[in-house]
Chain A
């Protein structure tokens, strides 16, 4: 399936899977925007009173400024960085816990499997966002919530989907011939999981990671939009909280709305393309015909 090796081979693959390529490019662009652009634009601009308020986009303020004098360019840069960081930390924890639980329960079964499956089923029925609201609104000093603390709260729910998905894949793979062969050749359970199952499930792990990061970003945006979390730091959700608070619509400050909407839409479209592309990579047989 690979024509050529290394980078050439990768480019050839991207040509056949444009969704994956598009998702990667978008995500890379957002990543560079939030890191490299940050080297040239100081963070101070993302706080109130940093600039003249209520300015439409101009040469001095390319993204405009909000009602309390935040320059919206640094707000976008540092907001993207904060929101993506929260999503990535929560997603990584979710995938880590989900991988351990998914492989353990799927491969070994038993009482542990029954207990974990029960909790996963219950948590699939209770909407994770409502659970997050209950937890995040009850922690002490929500106004000092750091990126890591927000991510830790989100990871309370971010392990559920990965656990479910990975367990289902392990269950379907457990009875396959190559696993039987490995068993006959005397490999232990842990060895089979790490040497045989893991490499075969890599694309599914990648899909789970993309889903978990996406869920983390969505959860953090939702909580911040409702006003839970650190209201001073310029995360993307907080930008939406404040533009609603100061009625940006009624005043016609379109640039204040454009900034978070465009960045957030880019993030979610990147994840959609990435998951479509990864799905195609994992199941090339269902490749679309139209």
Chain B
């Protein structure tokens, strides 16, 4: 069950390579684009009325100094990497002088709340439902679940969100249309009424992610269950006289869990990308909607900062899932990496 140290080192080394690549891309893209970001920032600031023309020169100089644009390229690059690795992601242009890291801190927990909850629930429900659908000894009625589940798995969560908003929030009025909490309520995290209000607002975005997730996980699980049922050890276990539930949970489900967890590690990026768009649909106060806002306002430091932060989060989560394998499946060998 122990994870060899060499494997951990290799995986952590890969994580560093991923972060380095992401930071390098963030550094290179604006350099490749034939535009002067400082000039654009100033013009935007003037256009929005937040800056006089005397202030513009000073603002531009401070920005150029902040980004070290007067130094040679390799030095800029090293400074950028050094800053990025310490999560010094610079300042927002639109909400100057807010730090990007401050904006991330303000929004990330909203996203984490509903995305983590819906992902865990979708994984659990989808795995069990998929296993039941694939298991030949369950009622044939379960196979009727497959077409709707397959449909949910195929449609992007933000498209489903549009339908849910219209039907459940606008028509039935069971849920609020948008936002993370009611405008009329005191924002006090110790107040149970406020917490209920937050949960009420999070339910519909969570449901969009949940339905799509359950569809995806059950589809993968069903296919694997069919394969496992034909395996020799299943025939043997049945011949030994083992009964339904034990056969289902200990023999079939246990052996199909590992591919599901591998798929979870692979799909984290898709889940986060999907959540970004779902948040935008609901104007949810999370990091994805903030990213959408930054894109519409061309607030580049915020765009690059949030993207980098999400890449780090996904890479770390993937690493954790990878290191969890031996707990789930003692057969795993780490020699190959």
Chain A positions within 8 Å of B, measured between CB atoms, are: 118, 121-122, 124-131, 133-135, 137-140, 218, 221-222, 225-228, 240, 243-244, 249-250, 252, 254, 257, 260-261, 264-265, 268-269, 271-272, 276, 286, 288-290
Contacts and interface: CB of A to CB of B under 8 A. Distances in A.
Given A134-B25, A226-B280, A290-B134, A272 B153 contact: yes
A226 B230 CA distance: 46
B303 A268 contact: no
Contact of B281 (A139, A140, A218, A244): A244
Given A265-B159, A289-B136, A138 B29 contact: yes
A139 B223 CA distance: 42
A286 B159 contact: no
Interface residues of B, number: 60
B303 A134 contact: yes
B307 A140 contact: no
A254 B296 contact: no
Nearest to B319: A125
B34 A134 contact: no
A276 B220 CA distance: 11
15 contacts: A122-B18, A125-B18, A125-B315, A127-B272, A130-B273, A137-B300, A140-B33, A221-B156, A225-B277, A226-B292, A226-B296, A261-B163, A265-B154, A286-B227, A290-B133
A127 B275 CA distance: 13
B87 interface: no
Interface stretch (B57-65, B71-79, B92-100, B165-173): B165-173
B29 A126 contact: no
A135 B170 CA distance: 36
Contact of A126 (B18, B134, B158, B303): B18
Given A121-B14, A138-B30, A276-B150, 10 more contacts: A122-B14, A125-B269, A126-B269, A127-B269, A130-B273, A134-B29, A137-B303, A221-B156, A265-B159, A272-B150
Contacts, number: 142
B300 A138 contact: yes
Contacts of A130: 269, 272-273, 307, 310-311
Interface of B: 14, 17-18, 21-22, 25-26, 29-30, 33-35, 133-134, 136, 143, 150-151, 153-156, 158-159, 162-163, 165-166, 169-170, 177, 223, 226-227, 229-230, 266, 268-270, 272-273, 276-277, 280-281, 291-292, 295-296, 298, 300, 303-304, 307, 310-311, 314-315, 318
A131 B154 CA distance: 22
A11 to B, nearest CB: 23
Contact of B311 (A127, A137, A276, A289): A127
Contacts of A249: 165-166, 169-170, 177
Contact of A227 (B14, B230, B276, B296): B296
